[in-house]
Structure 1
Amino acid sequence: MPDLQQKIHDLLNTLLRGDGATMRRRCAQVLHPDCAFEMSHPLGRLDGIDAIAEGFYAPLRAALRHVYRRDEIFITGMNRRAEGGQWIAAVTHYAGTFDAAFFGIKPSGRLAFLRAGEFYRVEDRRITQARIILDLPDLMRQAGRDPFGGQLGLEGLFPGPATHDGVLPKTGDGGASLDLVEAMLGDLHVYDPATGGSKGQTGADGYWAEDMMWYGPCGIGSNYRWEGFVKDHRAPFLAAFPDRKGGNHYCRIGDGNYAAVSGWPSMTMTHRGPYLGVAPTERDLTLRVMDFYRCAGGKIAENWVLLDYMDLMDQMGVDLIARSNAMSDEGLHGRNDAIA
């Protein structure tokens, strides 16, 4: 699939360039006529090229002036899950000047990097299915209106892999990378409520490198080493959702030193503790998840995570766009930390 992978990568990276007619022509080159995009909340499902162009790409072009795509990870592989098929998985940013509202989110008039996780199924040399999570809360944060009002870990742009080889990787064993990730996921589900620890995760024989980096979505942020991951993400999450069950993945692929998995939804859980400022609702919830991993020396070195927190908060009864838009514009312009 290397030539096809390169072709699709190139088309996706030029799709937003040029005028509207050029965009639609490139959509027809890379998307199957019956393609379906399942998008994070509030975009929903888009069926067919016209709906995808008008429901996603055109609003994106209108909101982020001169928008273009910057891939950090772009890998491909055969899906190990029952759904099967050839899939592409990507971590990207859509970069442009945030000059117009995007699905109701107030613009900043400044540079913005809209973070996205993407999974594409490929058949007959075109994309037939996509699932995409846009980190819209982070777009609000960059505009100076953080809907969560704070952070657990470090909030900022997703960095690319430390090895700078995540786009169309040329070396490494994708099967071994996915084996490692699947073994880790198998043990991660069972945990000690007192410590947040799970079998085999750390130590000389553990799955994670001692200097692991974990890059999370807006609301969680990023953290360093296992203890940082537990403090900034795992402990608060398990306290809020102690009965969470995960691993319901439709796609798992490996490519070179990378692996990617996704569930739509992946997790089912009950909201039993406060989380990101929301009091317990006792509601049964689901969570859409995308994880991307870089492996090195038989360990997981880096993990990029996209979670559909727009949908999760909507299930809790919280409208993050309305909350963000209600914030004052005072101090928005002239700040130095809008995307730091």
Structure 2
Amino acid sequence: MSDFRLKPQSFLDLILTAPANEMSSLISSHLTDEVVWDVAYPVERLSGKTHVLEAFFEPLRSAFSHVRRRNEIFIGGPNRRAPGGHWIASVAHYVGNFENPLFGVLPSDHLAFLRSGEFYRIEPDGRISEAKIILDLIDLMRQANRMPLPGMLGTEMLFPGPATHDGVLPLNQGDGERTLDLCEAMLADLKAYDPNTFTSKGQTGENGYWHDDMLWYGPGGIGSNYRWSGFEKDHRAAFLTAFPDRVGGDHYCRIGDGNYAAVSGWPSMTMTHKVDYLGVAATHKALTLRVMDFYRCAGGKIMENWVLLDYLDLFRQMGRDLIAEQC
């Protein structure tokens, strides 16, 4: 049986590097006629092949000179959630000299790594019929010295690839369904927490889901952290204090592939903004949050977690336009 991951991987590389007069043909060959392409704020929904080409790929090529795609994770598998089907999940960087504005973000005229979380529904003929993409434009602003949020949480850094360097088209790693089982069990127990310590049942310790040396890689505005104590201190405490009634896990996609798993909701989370967060006074508004999580597991433990959040949309709901506020 052919590897259904290969055709979309080839397309996503080629569409950035092909001559401009070949882009339309590539789009026609690799996307369905009714493709739906959902991108984080401010792009939002694109419908149809022409719209995807003109409002997503052409702006990327214009903003980053000689842009290239660098996959850190590229996995695929059957989706446990409706609408089912086979899906691809990827953590990638769009790499190039950032010379022209991109979706309102002003350029730096220097090398930039735009991180992206991506989910694609793949039809039996190999074409993409649906996409969900979170571009970390806040981190792009940080790289251009235009950061609109205070630096108060974790370490802002380039997303690394997996420590094992085997996250792109993994082979012969074992049962991806078992990897996904582990991550789903963790997510189920993560929902409830102690409001004083911000801990949840079963997360750490000898029989916990997370390895003692876990690494959590967060998006622009949050940053990354090390071990569960760092995760609580540099992200979870501030988030749960601000949004104590948050409920997550409303996912459209959950897949496992070897030692990797990926889940996403659009939105995944509902919550109320009850306490100040990242410089925004409590609005007491009901909010939603689009979320993507990518996991690497080993020996029955979660080792690494890459997280993409649509924070531009979250802050829009709180009354802040972070693109307009960039320095």
TM over 0.5: yes
Deviations 1:147-190 (A, max 9, x none): 11314111011000000000000122101100000000010000
C-alpha distance in 1 between matches for 2:110 and 2:22: 26
Gaps of 5+ in 1: 328-340
Q: CA deviation at 1:134?
A: 0.4
Change (3 A) 1:184 1:2: farther
> Cα deviations across residues 124-164 of structure 1 (Å, max 9, x unaligned)?
31000000000000000000111113141110110000000
**1:83-120 residue CA offsets vs partner (Å, 9 max, x unmatched):** 21100000000001100111221100000111100000
Contact in 1 for aligned 2:121/2:131 (Cα 8 Å): yes
1:126 aligns with 2:154: no
Residue 32 of structure 1 aligns with which residue? 32
Quote how far apart the aligned CAs of 1:2 are. 4.9
Contact 2:34 2:49 in 1 (8 A): yes
Matched with 1:42 is 42
1:1-340 aligned at under 5 Å gives the runs 2-123=2-123, 124-170=125-171, 171-324=173-326, 327=327
> Within 2, Cα distance between the matches of 1:87 and 1:18?
25
Determine if contact 1:243/1:269 at 8 Å carries over to the other structure: yes
Quote how far apart the aligned CAs of 1:26 are.
1.6
Task: Answer yes or no: is the 8 Å Cα contact 1:271–1:283 preserved in 2.
Answer: yes
How many pairs align?
325
Residues 271, 280 of structure 1: 8 Å contact kept: yes
- Report sequence identity in percent: 63
The answer to whether the 8 A contact 2:7-2:126 is kept is: no
- Show structure 2 runs of 5+ residues with no match: none
**What secondary structure does 1:62 align onto?**
helix
Asked whether the 8 Å contact 1:75–1:166 carries over to 2, the reply is yes
Separation in 2 of the partners of 1:138 and 1:12? 22
Tell me the CA shift for residue 21 of structure 1. Answer: 1.8
Distance 2:72 2:193 in 1: 31
TM-score by length of 2: 0.98
- Find the aligned partners of 1:2 and 1:184 in 2 and give their Cα distance: 32
Query: Which has the higher mean CA deviation after the structures are superposed, 97-106 or 209-218?
Result: 97-106
- Residue 330 of structure 1 is matched in structure 2 by none
What CA RMSD, in Å, does the superposition of the two structures yield over aligned residues?
0.9
Q: CA deviation at 1:25?
A: 1.8
1:188 and 1:241 map into 2 onto residues whose CA distance is 15
Query: Structure 1: which 4+ aligned runs deviate by more than 2 Å?
Result: 1-4
Secondary structure, aligned partner of 2:5? helix
Aligned partners of 1:55, 1:48: CA distance in 2, in Å?
Answer: 11
